[in-house]
Amino acid sequence: MNAAAPRRTPSLPGNGLMGQASSRFRTMDERVRPSLRLLPLSLCIAMALPAHATDDQEDWGLCPIEDVVPPFADAPPATAAGLPGIRIQQPTDIEGDALDASETQESIFSGNVALNRGDQFLGTDKLTYNSETGNYVAEGSVRYQDSGMRIVAESAEGNQDADSHTIHDLRYQLTQRRGNGGADRIELNGARGALVGSTYSTCPPSQRAWELRARRIDVDTDEGMAVARGATLRIGKVPVLHMPWFMFPVDDRRRTGLLYPSVSMSGRNGFDWKQPIYLNLAPNYDATLIPRIMTERGATLGGEFRWLYPDGRGQVSGNWMPDDALPRNEPSRYLNDLAGNPIPGATLPDKNRGQFVLSSLHGFGPTWHSRANLGWVSDTHYLEDFSSSSLGVSSYFLQSTAGLYGRGQYWDAEFSATHTQLADYTLTEGNLPYNRLPRAALNWAQPFGRWFQAGLSAEAVRFDHEVFDAGSRLDIKPFISMPLEGASWFLTPKVAWRYTTYQLDDGLAATLGDNSPSRSLPIYSLDAGLFFDRHTEIQGDAYLHTLEPRIYYLNVPYRDQSGLPAFDTNPMTFSWGQLFRDNRYTGADRQTDANQLTVALTSRLISEDDGRERLTASLGQIQYFDESRVTTQGEIPVPRGKSAWVADIGVSPGDRWSINAAYQWDPKLRGQDLASLRARYLFGDNGVVNLGYRYRRNTAYPVSGEKDLLEQADFSFLYPVTSNWSVVGRYYYSILDKKELETIAGVQWESCCLAVRLIGRRYVRNRTGDLNNSLMLEFELKGLGSAGQDTERVLRRGILGYERDDLYLVPPSQAIRGNVDPSPDPSL
């Protein structure tokens, strides 16, 4: 979409007769309007040539400081006082060396003629205007400037009354964004105009890497459309694209038409072409159709519908493929399991494959709103077959949620429903989580008196499942705490009571021996900490050094919970945060018993120059005074003694280095439970190198028989070889599985206004570990658009810091394990 200001028609107030001028005059007069009427015409250049919406996202650091049209020494600074919505109310000042007003109503302004209104300036050597006929002529060094552009031209002429104008032989430069060019002639007749022999580029003249030329462009500002004839795109001096005729918008009004296509090539899809078609249906809703051709697989039709109204918004999208050749090309993957054995009743999902997604939001005032996120796929292979990353491989179900949500000063509540759909052909319906149809929840916490805080967490939910018997659960957890704190300490004793009761279906009740089991128990905790700090110097740099000891005592009596179902409860991954929680399980089906004390220590070095945290180190451990006997399926009781040591460290020795590490060492096993490292180094203004390592021991090893859960290494980089050339790469490897997960290798060349990227990529495309090969080539004309596949999306996901704005994002964990069996059977 092009974003351009509407054509401006200034109005100048009359101010009496204009008398004989001296050697230098300054006046305002109704007769002097014409030259300002032609100013908006120059903007047709910017409007009639490509969109500039991407300018703010481009990197122009390689561009030399070069003015195609240098600033005018006699022009005042362009300010916001004359922006289009304001300048129409501004008066016009006229200055010149001489004025000759004859009896024939013809006025001749000569000698450094300058017209100013708001941010607009027009200068010329000579201006002739006939107030009777409305004709005018501006000759010699015609110069125009406003807050968005500068123009120089040989001459201008036209008729004020007929609103017709012509500018000859001009050059222009956009000042609020990149862009420059010229035209042999510009013609304007009311709202319609034409550019003859026009050019446009974001490159400076000394580095003209690309340029767009058009023999003629006709512009209609009332309709907001333009028609270009004989348009040619040149890379250097070589024409690479010629368009005899095409129509496009010249302002930000939405219109039906074609959007930029997406083109790619891969071993799985072959030549892949997407052509979005935008449909402007109404001011507050629109649609996009996305036909797609894959030479190795067939054709698909996708679509998206969006809507917006004062109280909400939403969008619905989908994709339909009537006949997919991929299952016929690889039938064994659809008909056999991972071991190669035939799957009873399995069929090839080659007909009518598709996906549906709905997202909507509606507000009911400042407190309540409704939200829905729904998804559906036609078969369990769909996400794997239509995803281009390992994230699609690692997702084994789709979750749809709709609900009503509220939030106040001291509370939040929801009433929702959740449904899951299997999306992994290696699993069965029995592996799916329970549906929540429906769920009601309330959280409330409020100061009570001077010293206390009271609160409540409550949940009522009905569980449902395609395979297993289910039931309903009510969980209530009121608490009262006494948060005390000072400048260097805090102390928070807390007492809670948890009551959970069920109403089970007959089948599950028969298995567990009770149709209405319940659990009731108190929870006592004490959280306390101190803050010590001192000023210190290291190699001449001043730091604030802190020491922050903390203890957390938790006491929960044991209750036999073997007669309770396990609808949505799993043990949490042991980490630093779990040292200070009152339950090691998600969900309410299990409440751990505990008599334990956490001892932890954190130390920081904070630079006194810039306030940045240069070093943070934390170490903590839980002392279990009693064995924790509450377990779920596959767990063993937590024995009396000490937990694994949990250590976290973050180091930033300079602005370019960043190192973060986590380590857990179990004294009982005399081995590590977890080890992770993430290091980053920045090169210059754009380069980055990332090194990552992750290892986690399988805590269910005694039951599962697998000692290790995952071990992965990840190396990625963007290395600038020169100011124009750089190389990119990534190697992501599973040491445990001895499998390559993703490899990226590429080279990119970038100049001031042109970039070319060639990327080769191999990545896991299914759960058997098969790799897909793809080659991506993209040409980016900065400020105009790009041709080829969107390589930036792949590189930003694979190389953390490829864009400097992404430096502090944490990449998602991508452990791809096809033999994990998250069975939700509540009786186990």
Domain boundaries, the chain: 25-180, 683-828
Mean pLDDT score of the chain: 82
Residue 827 binned pLDDT confidence (cut-offs 50, 70, 90): low
DSSP structural state of residue 342 = B
Spatial contact of 444 and 456, defined as CB atoms under 8 Å apart: yes
Q: Is the pLDDT assigned to residue 556 strictly greater than 90?
A: yes
Q: Which of 529, 681, 493 is CA-nearest to residue 603?
A: 529
pLDDT of 76 strictly over 80? no
Q: What is the CA radius of gyration of the chain?
A: 35
Cβ neighbours of residue 571 under 8 Å, at least 6 residues apart? 584, 585, 586, 632, 635, 699
Report the number of secondary-structure helices (H) and strands (E) in the chain.
10, 45
Calculate mean pLDDT across residues 630-650.
91
Q: How far apart are CA 508 and CA 492, in angstroms?
A: 41
Measured in degrees and rounded to the nearest 5, phi and psi for residue 483 equal -75, 115
**What average pLDDT does the segment 559-587 reach?**
92
Cα angle vertex 77, ends 74, 78, to 5°? 120
Q: Give residue 817's pLDDT.
A: 34
Output the CA–CA distances (angstroms, integers) from residue 538 to 465, 544, 602, in the order listed: 61, 11, 19
What pLDDT shows up at residue 16? 24
Mean pLDDT value across residues 698-703:
64
pLDDT at 468 over 80: yes
CATH code of domain 25-180? 2.60.450
- Per-residue pLDDT tens over the stretch 731-740: 999 998 888 9
Q: Output the pLDDT for position 285.
A: 94
pLDDT over 50 (residue 523): yes
Mean pLDDT of 505-520: 93
| pLDDT, tens only, 115-161 | 777 777 888 888 888 878 878 888 888 888 877 778 899 988 888 67
Do 620 and 599 form a contact (C-beta atoms < 8 A)? yes
Task: Report helix, strand or coil for 714.
Answer: strand
E strands present in 46-205: 93-96, 98-101, 106-117, 120-130, 135-145, 149-159, 164-174, 180-189, 192-201
Q: Which residues pair with 776 in a beta bridge?
A: 759
What pLDDT was estimated at residue 9? 29
CA dihedral in degrees (701, 706, 707, 708; nearest 10)?
-120
Q: How confident is the model at residue 704 (pLDDT cuts 50, 70, 90)?
A: low
pLDDT tens for 753-765 read 888 999 998 887 6
- Determine the average pLDDT of the residues in 262-269: 78
What percent of the chain has pLDDT above 90? 43
Residue 392 pLDDT > 80, yes or no? no
Does pLDDT of 21 surpass 70?
Answer: no
Question: 589 and 461 in contact (C-beta within 8 Å)?
Answer: no
Q: Give per-residue pLDDT as tens, 434-448.
A: 999 999 999 999 999
> Stretch 701-710: mean pLDDT, rounded?
69
Name the most confidently modeled range: 172-176, 272-276, 377-381, 658-662: 658-662
For range 396-403, the mean pLDDT: 92
Res 101: pLDDT: 72
CA distances from 97 to 72, 127, 128, 530 (A): 18, 12, 14, 79
Residue identified by tokens 């200068």 is 123
Q: Which is higher by pLDDT, 717 or 820? A: 717
Contacts of 321 (CB under 8 A, 6+ apart): 297, 298, 299, 300, 301, 352, 353, 354
Q: In this predicted structure, which of 246-255, 378-387, 650-659 has the lowest mean pLDDT?
A: 246-255
Report the pLDDT value the prediction gives residue 78, as an integer from 0 to 100: 66
Nearest in space to 572 (alpha carbons), one of 638, 640, 475, 523 = 638
